[in-house]
Structure 1
Amino acid sequence: MPAAHVNQIIAALPLDRAAAEPLFRQLYGAIRAAILDGRLSPGMRLPPTREFCRLLGVSRQTVLNAYAQLAAEGYLDGTVGRGTFISADVPLPVSAPAPPAASAPGLLRPLSARGQGVVAAMRQVAFHRGPLRAFRVGMPRIDHFPFDVWNRLEARRWRRPDHHFGYSDPAGFLPLRELLCVYLKASRGIHCTPQQIVITSGSQQALFLLSTILLAPGDCAWMESPGYRGASGPLRAAGAKVFPVPVDAQGLDVAHGVAHCPQAKLAYVTPSHQLPLGVSMSLPRRLALLAWAAQNKAWVVEDDYDSEYRYTGAPLASLQSLDRDGCVVYVGTLSKVMFPGLRLGYMVAPPALAESLVQAKAVMDRHTAIVPQMALADFIAEGHFGRHIRRTRDSNAERRDALVRGIASELDEQLACGPADSGLDLCAYFRGGHDEETVSRAGLAQGVELRPLGHYADPLAGPACIAPPGLLLGFAAIPPAEMAHGLQVLGRILRGR
């Protein structure tokens, strides 16, 4: 290619002198792009540095720095006395048909079947978006959290770096697991050793790990319906066949599952506080579930996501505390007790399963971030954890009472409250013939989040697995004034005003 044409290409290279990026980095990027798209081809000689400076109005050092970076990455070859050339080892670009002007670039090839399953699995899960507003579900009261204490504990750990700041145990920080053993025994009746506990990056990671290593593609798994869609997502991503099992006033209908899908390899349950209906699994149902699991060598995943917040007595004993056959994996989260951004959860596995879960955890992310674990261990050991739970339990109870009173005084003819003795949310059923989706859309248009109970039903479930029309209303994070406003908006919507 003639030198004059090369000079034209060089002179046209885009440089922005007002940008924060150094000029030599811009020049390096522009030359590299010209090489990769074929404007500067292998073997082509570049102008001498002084000529380069004249063409672009930059310093010689800028050009030298850009040349040095390009040479280090293999784009340029230079020989004293001969000049600088585009490396002959740079392959010529392969031309491809241009995409239609109106279309966005697509995937190089379709996702694998497994990839498509993973992507589709959580498509129906609703995520929090935008600022907090009534009646956001599953959200704890964050403004009650002692962030000043937490910041001090984390800072203290950062000031004392030790061997824990390298790669850590995939199972988690041992002092934290030891403290969790003591806490879980006292609060949930769980008997375990630190070796049975695996710290995870939230309960969602725990559910994904369990679905992946306990189930083979095609295995059946029981899933509460209505139930937590964030749990059915990992099951489907693992290739399991999710079998919806109805929930009534006593919790999961074990007899229905046994009659229609006895071959299931796993059952997912929220026995202490069922999501979204708020019921607790009765003792006969718990014993029946454990008997079925033991007889069929099936796993039971107990998701105990908010049992700390029980307002009419002590928290209920866990299902795991009744397990005598090593069937139950207990999954806990700290998102509801601490704050969701912490992303810390844990599993309590039967002894025979624990080491396999640790190895699977190591495959996924090696180990959960260590400093938050260390700070949490200090938070528990110094008594802050227990005080925070007591304080937030009282606060949540006050807000729960305010919501129940508000519904009774303003919307009693429109809504019937479900169980309200636990958790961060309240299930409310329509007394009239309202359409959930219509009500939900109208609320969102007026700045109020109204989660339909139908959102929690499995899309493939029959009528027995679908709750009566209603809403799930979050209260723990909602200030009284915002709650009162939300009830006014909901009242206008339900009355058609």
Structure 2
Amino acid sequence: MELHLHIEGDKDLAEQLYSQLHAAVSSGRLAQGQQLPPSRLLAQQLGISRKPVAMAYSRLTSDGLLQAHTGRGTFVGAPGTSASRPLQSADLASGATLKKWLDFDTPFRQKLALARSQYEFSGGTPAPAHFPQDEWRRCILYGLRQDGLRRGRYASTGGEPALREAIARHAAYARGLVCEPGHVVVTNGAQQSLDLLGRILLEPGDVAAVEDPGYPIARALFKSHGARIASVPVDREGMVPEQIPDNARLIYVTPAHQFPLGMQMSPARKAALLARALEIGAIIIEDDYDSEFRYEGRPAESLQSLDRHGIVVFMGSLSKVMLPELRIGYVVLPEALLQPFMIAKHLTDWHTASMTQLALAKFIDEGCLARHIRRGHAIYTSRRDELLLGLSTMLAPWLEPVPSSAGFHMAAFARRQTDLPVLLRLARRAGVGLYTLDGFYAEVKPRAGLFFGFGSIDTLDIAPALTIVRDVLQQVDPSSKSGHP
């Protein structure tokens, strides 16, 4: 890689080099500790003699901006005091459009910026300490070897055939899906799946029906495509189909484990939702983000397995099951959406990283994913039971848990009026990270309550954390010390 320098003519070459390198170091363009090319190589790259390069290096070394190490080379030293050239703000024609992006709700990005507490109840995070690193490392090495055999070539937009087949088998076994590998498309996490679905289904002004309370990112993504959001309330059976407007093009739901409240959509409600979507010609996006972990009752049928008219898109996330940094999601598409989705993905990023896909295919095929889910199920069961015990005993005067039979988060409604912002602030000072439900509501009046993720907190830490929460609640609500709601 060549160092970018601009030489004009053949006069004062050493001065030109000195000035440009001095400015690059002072402005930070060349970072402290960065190695510069040997003087002979730089002279060759610039098409000049070595002498002016050596002279410039010598002056910069005397100034303390470069450091020469015998046998190692020349490196950037501490930057000078000169400030970088200030930029004058241009009057951009796209200024108003850019400003609109600042209005989008991205609450999870703000939460990620918070320092993690000693006891953390954040949601959407699996248990990283129990991930089978050795098995995954072996699969990654396999993926590297396989990827190396065809280095320099782009892969299939829909995903590696081996992974599409593995996902189709996994989804059929775990969720009862009826699908062929050719209808599975691998994406960079569930976020990209939502974005691409919005691209192909929505025009500016179209209506997207979204659960309220619901997933804020889905709402913001569809809005970014120019959609008008119809907030559809949920009850104990899930989204209320009668509240979906006639002009909705898209319906976004989380039927297996409603986000964020956690209830499961009833069979009667699923049938009504499918009928309503068919009546108005809408596509249903079924976000099945964490239903691999189920604790009570029989596995519920997915909407996709009940669909007889090709109106349901099943969306899954292996990042939630494994590690969020993997960024691997997938969709199972009906025939009408398959090619438009593939074209949209090709235009966006061509394809998802093939090495990770090949590793994941082997991870699934060798049974590593199934074993990991079984281990995770035992871990999350103990954490869920411990959380439920604490909510139903020491926190019972203040909180009522919402019935939930899947995933690794739980919601609890407030039984009495409590200053929740003060609770969150005091709990964080005491080492407990808590989160309220109000940020998940849009137009429906929020119900006061807390969101408990138990993927990133150990079982033995839950009782001490809830004890701290109880003590803080007694400070915030002194009248509750009697223990009666």
Q: For this structure pair, what is the TM-score category when the shorter chain's length is used for normalisation?
A: 0.7 to 0.9
1:342-380 deviation digits (Å, cap 9, x = unpaired): 110000110121111111111111100111111111111
Tell me the residue number matched to 1:21. 35
Q: Of residues 330, 334, 344 in structure 2, which corresponds to 1:346?
A: 330
1:196-244 deviation digits (Å, cap 9, x = unpaired): 1110000000000001110000001111111011111110111100111
Distance 1:225 1:454 in 2: 11
What is the TM-score when the length of structure 1 is the normalising length?
0.79
Tell me the residue number matched to 1:374. 358
Letter in 2 for 1:214: L
Tell me the residue number matched to 1:43. none
Letter in 2 for 1:153: C
Tell me the CA shift for residue 179 of structure 1. Answer: 1.9
Letter in 1 for 2:139: L
Asked if residue 469 in structure 1 is aligned to residue 483 in structure 2, the reply is no
1:305-326 deviation digits (Å, cap 9, x = unpaired): 0111110134311011111111
Tell me the residue number matched to 1:93. none
Tell me the CA shift for residue 163 of structure 1. Answer: 3.2
5 Å-filtered alignment, 1:56-455, equals 57=58, 106=89, 109=92, 111=94, 115-118=98-101, 120-126=103-109, 127-129=111-113, 130-131=115-116, 133-160=119-146, 161-163=148-150, 166-257=153-244, 261-455=245-439
Tell me the CA shift for residue 281 of structure 1. Answer: 1.3
Q: State the SS of the aligned residue for 2:186.
A: strand
Residues 5/251 of structure 1: CA separation in 2 closer, same or farther (3 Å cut): same
Distance 2:195 2:126 in 1: 23
Tell me the CA shift for residue 14 of structure 1. Answer: 5.5
Question: What is the aligned-residue identity percentage?
Answer: 35
Distance 2:278 2:435 in 1: 36
Residues 330/51 of structure 1: CA separation in 2 closer, same or farther (3 Å cut): closer
Tell me the CA shift for residue 453 of structure 1. Answer: 0.6
Tell me the CA shift for residue 392 of structure 1. Answer: 0.4
Residues 115/207 of structure 1: CA separation in 2 closer, same or farther (3 Å cut): farther
1:9-38 deviation digits (Å, cap 9, x = unpaired): 77666657994422668x989xx9xxxxxx
Tell me the CA shift for residue 265 of structure 1. Answer: 0.9
Q: State the SS of the aligned residue for 1:336.
A: helix
Letter in 1 for 2:456: A
**Residues 400, 476 of structure 1: 8 Å contact kept:** no
Residues 495/145 of structure 1: CA separation in 2 closer, same or farther (3 Å cut): same
Distance 1:176 1:164 in 2: 18
Distance 2:56 2:165 in 1: 68
Distance 2:17 2:162 in 1: 61
**Residues 427, 471 of structure 1: 8 Å contact kept:** yes
Tell me the CA shift for residue 111 of structure 1. Answer: 4.0
**How many residue pairs get matched?**
432
**Residues 316, 331 of structure 2: 8 Å contact kept:** yes
Tell me the residue number matched to 1:457. 441
Tell me the residue number matched to 2:73. none
Distance 1:374 1:468 in 2: 45
Tell me the CA shift for residue 467 of structure 1. Answer: 3.9
Q: State the SS of the aligned residue for 1:410.
A: coil
Tell me the CA shift for residue 420 of structure 1. Answer: 3.0
Distance 1:240 1:292 in 2: 20
Q: CA RMSD in A?
A: 3.3
* Unaligned 5+ runs, structure 2: 1-9, 61-84, 477-485
Deviates more, 1:328-337 or 1:178-187: 178-187
Distance 2:134 2:91 in 1: 49
Distance 1:54 1:323 in 2: 76
Distance 2:33 2:263 in 1: 59
Tell me the CA shift for residue 469 of structure 1. Answer: 0.4
What is the TM-score when the length of structure 2 is the normalising length?
0.81
